[in-house]
Structure 1
Amino acid sequence: MARKQLAPQDWSMAALRAMARGGVAAVSVNALAGELKATRGSFYWHFKDRDALLTAALELWEQQHTAALISELSGIADSRQRLRALFATALGQEEIAGLEPAIVAHAHHPSVAPVLRRVTDQRIAYLTELYTDLGLEPATARQQAVVAYAAYLGWVELRRTACDIVPEVAATGTTATAALEHLLAELDRPGERG
């Protein structure tokens, strides 16, 4: 029986799943080959080495979870609706549970650092733009963007590490829905607090 031909994206997605489970150290060519029912030769057909795979995987994450999302949201004309849609998507069901915190936890790894810095910069800039469009002065919009992004990172970290203690951060459920609506309302009304 012939084996399925794997594309670089198959290896990259497997690397992201491994990273979510166990960090950068979990991205092992042998383990991924086993998961994908492939040979090491298949891996080396697409990648020079493990570091090349890490870079490709992280760039795929950057493209799918930042650039593509920003592009998708550009179709929403109203800035407030765009902001709500952004948070609802970002804080909703995760494609790969625990991936964001796992990446952030390895912020100083040479393969992770440049991509994570670009993603953080793109996300903060986009949030700043949205808050500016809502009428905030640029400096205040930037501050609100940082607060919103910090809330997002905290939310996904709590989901990964303490969802049993803090069920409000779960991806589904009545309690989670109410908590998410509350957070969206708080992040959605910048400058209204006194």
Structure 2
Amino acid sequence: MSRRAALRSRDVAVGLVLTVLLAACSTVGTLSDADSGPLGVTQGSGEWCLPAFETDSDVVHGSEVLYNESDSVVQIKDVSLVDARNLEIRDSYQGPPRNTLVGTLLGWPSAERLQKQAFEPLGRIDPNSQANLVILLRSGDDPDSADLSGVRIEYEVDGKTFSVTTGYSVTWRKRC
């Protein structure tokens, strides 16, 4: 085999290997995207100044909208915080979609007030509909700040389990 033929053969082999690797990476990316299922979530970030932020107090956070983009019911199984510092999740609710989100509030509304505003424990999202995700958080022992980088939602559709994480990171500061 001539030197030129050997180089050409090597170039073809390298090209084939790169093509296979590129195809494998593309497949992994597609599978990862498919694993999040039909539940869409709000993406964004924010920082709020809460001068009354205190240790061991309740904080209501409602800046995410969940979008069921399927013809099937979404059944929420678990809600957890991602990379949370000085916060723990105590409870989660869903509210009717409105023109505004709940945002962040200190304290927690009474059960009667939640019912009056049509909030209910997080669970079922009907086909092709949306719900406002509202979570009750308890602050920890750092009196000056708290943060989280997202909310992870595990859910089931037609017997299959999926999870999706909001990209909505939040930082609360007592001193602004």
Normalised TM-score (structure 1): 0.23
Structure number with higher strand proportion: 2
Greater RCO structure (CA 8 Å; 6+ sep): 2
Of structures 1 and 2, the larger Rg is shown by 2
Structure number with higher helix proportion: 1
